[in-house]
Amino acid sequence: MDVLMNSFSLYVHVPFCSAKCTYCDFNSYAGQDSLMGPYADAVAREAALWSPHVAGRRVETVFFGGGTPSLLPLPEMETVVASLKANFLIEPGAEFSLEANPGTVDAAHLQGLRRLGFNRISFGVQSFHDDELRTLERIHDADEVKDAYRWTREAGFDNVNLDLIYGLQGQTFEGWQTNLETALSLGPEHLSLYALTLEEGTPLTRDVERGRKSGPDLDLQADMFEWSRERMKQDGFHHYEVSNWARDSRECRHNLVYWRNGDWLGMGPGAHSHMFDERFADAASPRRYVELVKETDAGEGLDSMHQVAMREGPDREREMSETAFLALRLREGLDISAWEARFGVDIMDVFGEPIRETQELGLIELVDGRLRLREEAVLLGDEAFMRFLAPAVSSNMI
């Protein structure tokens, strides 16, 4: 397998949850705690299987997502982290992130995570109103968020993200303002603000389709977004991606790899990867994943990896398309000269028509050699992104 001598990122999917939230369409499972030990051993083994294929390449970021990674007990977490450090060349200053539910951590657990090398925590807060949290079927309350945040600082974390959702059923404009003000008062380095969306196959979407609940008020969500953007600017946050804000130099380095269409290797049930000019994913079922990793012997390339259940081979058209529209999610936009150097073609020969069309529609602008969404068109981003999609690229990649 040919491997370029450049950096990449690691993603570890932890599929366990205490309960499945009504709006969530991630690969996550409740009631499978008995698999945590076998799961940790399987991820450790998968890391060893991949190690020969990325020899010489350095890891800049590591991200544990889920599911609820903070549910994994420290001994199992240590098994996984030790294997990552043993099998990959992780940079000394690598960003080491973990997603956490505030209701699943205590001071000792957070101190243990810090000792293992985690240096960034992302809390799925969603709301500071207990009634809204109950509607979302979250397992924590607002007081637990504040406790978890305090313990995180006491454990030595200096890089904390809070996730919030706006446009919830029954949420007022004033209620959302209170949520954001409360988050800002805690002093995080990063905030992710997501509009409630209806994801296919989730209980929430089924309830809306059957008339049991109302869908999101898109106009109200737009007003909430516009107010939030101005409020965040006042507090010194940089709006660097459609849904993400950071203080100086605190952007999520791992997610930037995704938006810049870089290389990352995913491990764990359902984890997706973009490596070796291919996209592939592990088996989604935790139990099946564990079984398949046990069956796999070190071999040559992807063909030997039994746990890999989905593969999309090299596709130059898809790569050009994804690199373009993913970059448009970023406020920095698409660096045209870098794109042309990467693919060896003039961008106008490939995307001349969509570039001209989106400029005429007032969606994008050309600034200092970069194509980017106009500030007033951020909420209309999908209208621009879809015009850069290759025919083979599904719109659900947006």
Would you kindly state where each structural domain of the chain is located, as residue ranges?
A: 8-258, 332-392
- H or E segment to which residue 126 belongs: strand 120-126
pLDDT above 70: percentage of residues in the chain: 90
pLDDT band at 167 (very low <50, low <70, confident <90, very high): very high
Name the more confident of 398 and 260. 260
What average pLDDT does range 362-369 have in this prediction?
Answer: 96
54: tokens are 């990325």
How many helices and strands (H and E) does the chain possess? 14, 17
Task: Reply yes or no on whether the pLDDT at 397 is more than 60.
Answer: no
27: tokens are 């690969």
Task: Reply yes or no on whether the pLDDT at 21 is more than 60.
Answer: no
Task: Reply yes or no on whether the pLDDT at 23 is more than 70.
Answer: no
pLDDT band at 205 (very low <50, low <70, confident <90, very high): low
How many angstroms separate the CA atoms of 236 and 214, rounded?
A: 35
Q: By 3-state DSSP, what share of the chain in percent is helix, strand and coil, each rounded to 5?
A: 45, 20, 35
Taking Cα atoms as reference points, which of 123, 98, 122 lies closest to residue 10? 98
Phi then psi for residue 125, to 5 deg, are -75, -55
Q: Is 43 helix (H, G, I), strand (E, B) or coil?
A: helix
pLDDT band at 5 (very low <50, low <70, confident <90, very high): very low
pLDDT at 197: 81
Task: Reply yes or no on whether the pLDDT at 326 is more than 50.
Answer: yes
Pair 296, 37: CB distance under 8 Å: no
277 Rama sector, left if φ>0, alpha if ψ -120 to 50, beta otherwise? left
Q: Which residues contact 251 (CB under 8 A, 6 or more apart)?
A: 190, 238, 240, 241, 244
* Sign of the dihedral defined by the CA atoms of residues 79, 81, 84, 86, in that order: negative
Taking Cα atoms as reference points, which of 144, 72, 66, 156 lies closest to residue 106? 144
Q: Is 41 helix (H, G, I), strand (E, B) or coil?
A: helix
Name the more confident of 44 and 131. 44
pTM of the model: 0.90
Task: Reply yes or no on whether the pLDDT at 347 is more than 50.
Answer: yes
- H or E segment to which residue 241 belongs: strand 238-241
pLDDT at 135: 82
Name the more confident of 161 and 394. 161
DSSP character at residue 268: S
How many angstroms separate the CA atoms of 278 and 66, rounded?
A: 23
How many angstroms separate the CA atoms of 365 and 1, rounded?
A: 40
Task: Reply yes or no on whether the pLDDT at 369 is more than 80.
Answer: yes
pLDDT at 138: 80
Angle, CA of 224, 229 and 233, to the nearest 5° = 145
Write out pLDDT tens, residues 219-236.
999 999 999 999 999 999
DSSP character at residue 331: T
pLDDT band at 210 (very low <50, low <70, confident <90, very high): confident
Of the chain, the end-to-end C-alpha distance in Å amounts to: 30
Q: What is the DSSP annotation of 175-202? A: HHHHHHHHHHHH--SEEEEEE----TT-
Angle, CA of 269, 204 and 224, to the nearest 5° = 105
DSSP character at residue 216: P
How many angstroms separate the CA atoms of 332 and 20, rounded?
A: 35
248: tokens are 């100086």
111: tokens are 């101190």
Q: Which CATH number fits domain 332-392: 3.30.230.10, 1.10.8.100, 3.30.428.10, 1.10.10.920?
A: 1.10.10.920
> What architecture is the 8-258 domain classified under in CATH?
Alpha-Beta Barrel (3.20)
